[in-house]
Amino acid sequence: MLYNPNRAMVNLRDRAKRYHSKKETPSEGPADNVADVWNTTRKACVAKITEILENAALAKSYEGALYQKNHNSLEQYRTSFRKDVIALRNSKTGFREAIKNKEITPEQFALLKPEELFSKEQKLENEKLKDQELQAAISTETKALPKNINALKDSVVSEKWGISTSAAAIDDFEEE
């Protein structure tokens, strides 16, 4: 059988048509559209918060504030949402009851910083750890300080003139 270039072109066109016809259409495939991803994420957020707070109006209010806070980045939106869900589920924080009892609005809750979402016990523990780290840092710095004023003087002289302690002592002796 001889090679026919026209027949080869027809085969390539047929293969291309079959390939493109198998591709998913946007309505059938995954949500690649940014707006679709946002809408899907926001609906899931409202559903999860409604489940936790048992109130759809509070959930929608929270989600609207969260979206206003993080509308520039989907990743930030999701991260904030996850942290908020953890804080709402944790009974030690008291946020779920505070929102239900209208002590705090969902909008105020959505705008809280991550460090404000900790329970009182966790805040005290964090403060205690910071104090311990500060004490450890101070104790290591005091070990590096000289014992007396002469040791300080010797270190300053040697740093200033680039000479050893014994040479600095000789210079001091000659001045007297």
Per-residue pLDDT band for 28 (boundaries 50, 70, 90) equals very low
| Residue 78, pLDDT score | 95
Q: What is the 3 state secondary structure string of the chain?
A: CCCCHHHHHHHHHHHHHHHHHHCCCCCCCCCCCHHHHHHHHHHHHHHHHHHHHCCHHHHHHHHHHHHHHHCCCHHHHHHHHHHHHHHHHCCCCCHHHHHHCCCCCHHHHHCCCHHHHCCHHHHHHHHHHHHHHHHHHHHHHHHHCCCCHHHHHHHHHHHHHCCCHHHHHHHHHHHC
pLDDT digits (tens, 9 = 90+) for 63-112: 999 999 998 899 999 999 999 999 999 999 999 999 999 999 999 999 99
More confident site: 145 or 26: 145
Give the confidence band of 50 by pLDDT, cuts at 50, 70, 90.
Answer: very high
Burial class (CB in 10 A: 0-12, 13-18, 19+), 70: middle
Averaged pLDDT for residues 42-62: 94
Q: pLDDT at residue 27 above 50?
A: no
Look-up: residue for tokens 């460090």?
A: 115
Q: pLDDT (tens digit, 9 = 90+) per residue, 113-172?
A: 988 998 888 889 989 999 889 888 887 766 666 666 666 565 555 555 555 555 555 555
User: Which residue ranges make up each domain of the chain?
Assistant: 33-119, 146-175
Residue 139 pLDDT: 75
Pair 170, 158: CB distance under 8 Å: no
What is the model's pLDDT at position 26?
46
Q: Is 81 exposed, middle or buried (0-12, 13-18, 19+ CB in 10 A)?
A: buried
Is a pLDDT exceeding 50 seen at residue 25? Answer: no
